Copies of this chain bind each other. A is one copy, B any other.
Amino acid sequence: MILLALPQSSADGESVGLIDALFMAVSAVCVTGLAVLEPGSDFSYFGQTVILLLVQLGGLGFMIFGVTVAILVGKVMGLKYRLLLQPTTNTFSARGIFRLAMTILLLALALEAVTALILTIHWSGEMGWVEASYASIFHSVMAFNNAGFTLFDNSMEDYLGDPLVNVSLSALFITGGLGFMVLVDLFRKRSLRKLSLHSKLVLVTSGSLLIGGFLFLFMVELFNPATEGLSLTERLLAAYFQSATPRSAGFNTVDIGNMLVASQFFIIVLMFIGASTGGTGGGIKTNTFAIIVLATINTFRSGHQVHAFHRKIALETVMRALAVVVSSLAWIIGTTLLLSITEGLHNVHFLTTLFDVVSGFSTAGLSMGLTEELSPIGKIIMMITMFVGRLGPLTLAYLLTYKQRPSRINYPEDKVLIG
């Protein structure tokens, strides 16, 4: 943060100011990508490199952090991080876990390197080799970490119709968002049938959201007069990219503000769902969303257990999913109310506020314009939201709560009507 506030970090040699530097640093570490300044034009190469390192630290570091924590404070973090290792390693020794962390690191760097290479070749004609390799590395790191910053002042809008940029970047951020348990599971099992229930749920939910989102955005935006000049290829690519990026990459190839209200609201829902546990993305997570939907369907069918792929899902899991959804909704509603008050005098529209709050909480990074107009107090509120959203309500609760002995009193049961 201090580094970003240095004059050396700024494009024009004058410090960007402490609060904006702090905001950009928080946004980078949380891999959110919401920006009060443009990484491309407001920061020097030095400043951009600081952002890049913060993003790599925040995204990839958070993945490895989970593994490390599992060794150091295994008991405090409890089931979650031990579970997360079960499918990936048979040993709980420090050495086994260190090797796993190295695997993740190498895998991530390899994927980033391959994408950067492809993009360098692709962009070399347009930008020259030096600029092209710099931009390629920067955007590959942003993509794998689902960070969403770009060096261009209009995100990826210039590459709306460029299939190679669309496909290579989205492949990278979708991979980063799946979570390393799923990646390792895929790598080891090499068979869809043998995958763990977690991997199956993540893959099916992610796939469905991608296809459903693509179809919805493609059809709805046909009615948007702003898309009139686009060719069919551009429309298809735009619908695909804008359905993938809310969960939670944060690049955009069309101006979100020019989309129809229905599309904007739909993107809010996609951002809320987000990526998957153990990945570089945010949101309530595809696996949480799947559990909530399965539990609801099960209740409507008067079923006696929540199940998927011939496996029962523990009630404890459903309760955790419920807690994540309810507390996330509560946080988003509270923050939106708060910002409506603090920023209300600026006449900001409600949808813009809701959009940017969900984007910040879900570390999506897309913006309808609220963020860059935030008051200082609004910036602080948004920073806290990005941080809380990045850690996630459950992780935060575990970190804040000392291991309190849950009450073991067995209360008699009583009934409450519902519905």
Which residue numbers of A lie inside 8 Å of B, CB to CB?
A: 80, 83-84, 181, 196-198, 201, 220, 223, 260-262, 264-266, 269, 277-278, 285, 287-288, 290-293, 295-296, 298-305, 307, 310-315, 317-327, 333, 336-337, 340-341, 344, 349-351, 353, 392-395, 397, 401, 404, 406-408, 410-419
Q: A322: shortest Cβ distance to chain B, in Å?
A: 5
The reply to whether B419 and A393 form a contact with Cβ atoms under 8 Å apart is yes
The reply to whether B350 and A285 form a contact with Cβ atoms under 8 Å apart is no
Give Cα distance in the complex from A395 to B314, angstroms.
26
Residue of B nearest to A330 (CB): B296
- In the bound complex, residues from chain B placing their C-beta under 8 Å from that of A310 are 411-412
Q: A221: shortest Cβ distance to chain B, in Å?
A: 11
The reply to whether A298 and B313 form a contact with Cβ atoms under 8 Å apart is no
The reply to whether A324 and B418 form a contact with Cβ atoms under 8 Å apart is yes
- In the bound complex, residues from chain B placing their C-beta under 8 Å from that of A408 are 304
Identify A223's interface contact among B198, B307, B341, B411, CB under 8 A. B341
Q: A245: shortest Cβ distance to chain B, in Å?
A: 19
The reply to whether B418 and A287 form a contact with Cβ atoms under 8 Å apart is yes
Give Cα distance in the complex from A292 to B328, angstroms.
13
The reply to whether A84 and B181 form a contact with Cβ atoms under 8 Å apart is no
Identify A419's interface contact among B264, B395, B416, CB under 8 A. B395
Q: A87: shortest Cβ distance to chain B, in Å?
A: 9
Q: A419: shortest Cβ distance to chain B, in Å?
A: 3
The reply to whether A415 and B340 form a contact with Cβ atoms under 8 Å apart is no
- In the bound complex, residues from chain B placing their C-beta under 8 Å from that of A264 are 350
The reply to whether A411 and B312 form a contact with Cβ atoms under 8 Å apart is yes
- In the bound complex, residues from chain B placing their C-beta under 8 Å from that of A287 are 416-418
The reply to whether A350 and B419 form a contact with Cβ atoms under 8 Å apart is no
Identify A350's interface contact among B83, B351, B393, CB under 8 A. B351
- In the bound complex, residues from chain B placing their C-beta under 8 Å from that of A392 are 419
The reply to whether A415 and B299 form a contact with Cβ atoms under 8 Å apart is no
Q: A58: shortest Cβ distance to chain B, in Å?
A: 18
The reply to whether A313 and B197 form a contact with Cβ atoms under 8 Å apart is no
Identify A327's interface contact among B288, B296, B415, CB under 8 A. B296
The reply to whether A419 and B351 form a contact with Cβ atoms under 8 Å apart is no
